[in-house]
């Protein structure tokens, strides 16, 4: 990250609340109809949205990646439109944001930031792309995934659990259940949430049910031969999406590794303490939200400083890294893998396979 981008991003971070307030005040001034249309609660939501846009904006500036902000705006357009907020309101909001940045920041950072906002405004000129289902009928285990989704959406985790246990008893490999049922269904739920077709409660229920059912597979996962090699798996601080890194840990267990799985939202000092107490051969860090990428870079730097005696191989992954193939290098990691299935091979290439006993 160069200094200009880093400093501009940090200015946006420190001024986020003030800028968000200024955007909403100016937007409501310019369009008095908004107050009647969305009511007082609507104003609070707009303020939250403004802060959210600014969070992504600063992450994009920090990464020197205008595409990141443009992608986010396309995502936000679909999410807001499905909740009755038309595209032109978002476009007007961005135009106001642009003017607030232009007048509220010193000229140099203002110039840099407005080019990113312009990229977001331009992204709105193309109609938002369709969001195809993640459960295509020709995908592997498509029927099972459909049935599993239907079960969790009607809050029937017993039925969902029976489906999975029966499939495993029939010989379906656990890795296939993980990737083609759990992962796909979780992402499909996310798509439907974005389109306002499932409730937050359904999404939470599905995640909890899937975690419970994963735990029921543990006798099979933890019973294999061991390599007597350890790795630590964690989400970066602030990150609440833990299923992906949990799948990564389980698949490594299936490959004979001992995982120290820490889960969601772990503070950096706790991760460093764990690495001191549980010496590991690999550290795996997960981030889903694109605005956690800087936190991943900071965590890697902190680990390197705290454990200077050897170069601990560090892998990063998760949704934030999915469509940005070189991002793992930028954050100072040693590699990445696209999913849990690719993890063991990646680790073997990095630190050697070693015997299974």
**Which residues of this protein are in contact with ligand B12, per CB under 6 A?**
72, 75, 183, 186-187, 189-191, 193-194, 203-204, 207, 238-245, 247-248, 284-286, 288-290, 315-319, 322, 336-337, 339-340, 343
Min separation Cβ 25 and ligand B12, Å: 23
Residue 161 vs 210, nearer CB to ligand B12: 210
Q: How far is the CB of 268 from ligand B12 (least distance, A)?
A: 16
- In the complex, least distance from residue 110 CB atom to ligand B12, rounded to whole angstroms: 25
Smallest distance, Å, CB 196 to ligand B12?
10
The encoded tokens of residue 51 equal 């802060």
Q: In what order do the strands lie in the sheet with 282-286?
A: 258-263, 230-235, 282-286, 314-317, 335-336
Compare residues 58 and 105 and give the one whose CB is closer to ligand B12. 58
| Collapsed DSSP state (helix, strand, coil) of residue 336 | strand
Query: Looking at beta carbons only, is 99 or 207 nearer to ligand B12?
Result: 207
Q: Looking at beta carbons only, is 4 or 208 nearer to ligand B12?
A: 208
Chain length of the chain:
357
**Distance in Å, CB of 226 to ligand B12, minimum:** 21
Classified as helix, coil or strand, 232 is strand
Positive or negative CA dihedral for 166, 171, 174, 176?
negative
Q: Which is nearer to ligand B12, 152 or 340 (CB)?
A: 340
Burial class of 104 by CB neighbour count within 10 A (0 to 12, 13 to 18, 19+) = middle
Cα(90)–Cα(74) distance, integer angstroms: 10
CB-count burial class (<10 Å; 0-12, 13-18, 19+) for 172: middle
CA atoms 181, 184, 186, 189: torsion sign: negative
Nearer to ligand B12, 105 or 214 (CB): 214
Q: For the CB of residue 247, give the shortest distance to ligand B12 in the complex, in Å.
A: 4
């Amino acid at each position: 990250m160069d200094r200009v981008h880093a400093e501009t991003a940090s200015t946006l971070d420190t001024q986020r609340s003030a800028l968000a307030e200024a955007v909403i005040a100016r937007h409501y001034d310019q369009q008095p109809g908004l107050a009647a249309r969305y009511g007082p609660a609507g104003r609070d939501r707009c303020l939250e949205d403004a802060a959210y846009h600014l969070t992504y904006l600063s992450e994009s500036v920090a990464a020197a990646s205008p595409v990141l902000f443009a992608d986010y705006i396309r995502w936000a357009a679909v999410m807001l439109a499905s909740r009755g907020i038309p595209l032109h309101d978002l476009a007007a909001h961005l135009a106001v944001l642009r003017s607030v940045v232009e007048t509220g920041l010193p000229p140099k950072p203002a110039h840099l930031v407005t080019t990113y906002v312009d990229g977001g405004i331009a992204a709105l000129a193309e109609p938002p792309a369709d969001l195809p289902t993640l459960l295509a009928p020709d995908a592997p285990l498509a029927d099972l995934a459909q049935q599993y989704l239907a079960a969790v959406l009607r809050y029937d985790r017993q039925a969902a659990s029976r489906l999975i246990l029966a499939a495993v008893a029939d010989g379906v490999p656990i890795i296939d259940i993980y990737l083609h049922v759990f992962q796909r269904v979780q992402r499909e739920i996310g798509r439907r949430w974005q389109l306002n077709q499932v409730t937050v409660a359904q999404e939470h229920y599905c995640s909890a049910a899937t975690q419970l059912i994963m735990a029921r597979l543990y006798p099979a996962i933890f019973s294999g031969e061991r390599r007597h090699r350890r790795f630590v798996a964690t989400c970066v601080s602030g990150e609440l999406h833990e299923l992906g890194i949990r799948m990564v840990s389980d698949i490594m267990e299936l490959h004979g590794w001992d995982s120290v799985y820490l889960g969601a939202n772990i503070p950096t000092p706790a991760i460093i303490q764990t690495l001191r107490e549980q010496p590991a051969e690999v550290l795996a860090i997960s981030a889903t939200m694109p605005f956690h990428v800087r936190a991943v870079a900071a965590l890697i730097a902190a680990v390197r400083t705290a454990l200077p005696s050897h170069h601990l191989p560090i892998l990063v992954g998760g949704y934030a890294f999915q469509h940005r193939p070189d991002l793992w290098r930028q954050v100072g990691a040693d590699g990445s893998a696209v999913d849990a299935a690719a993890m063991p091979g990646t680790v073997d290439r990095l630190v050697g396979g070693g015997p299974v006993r």
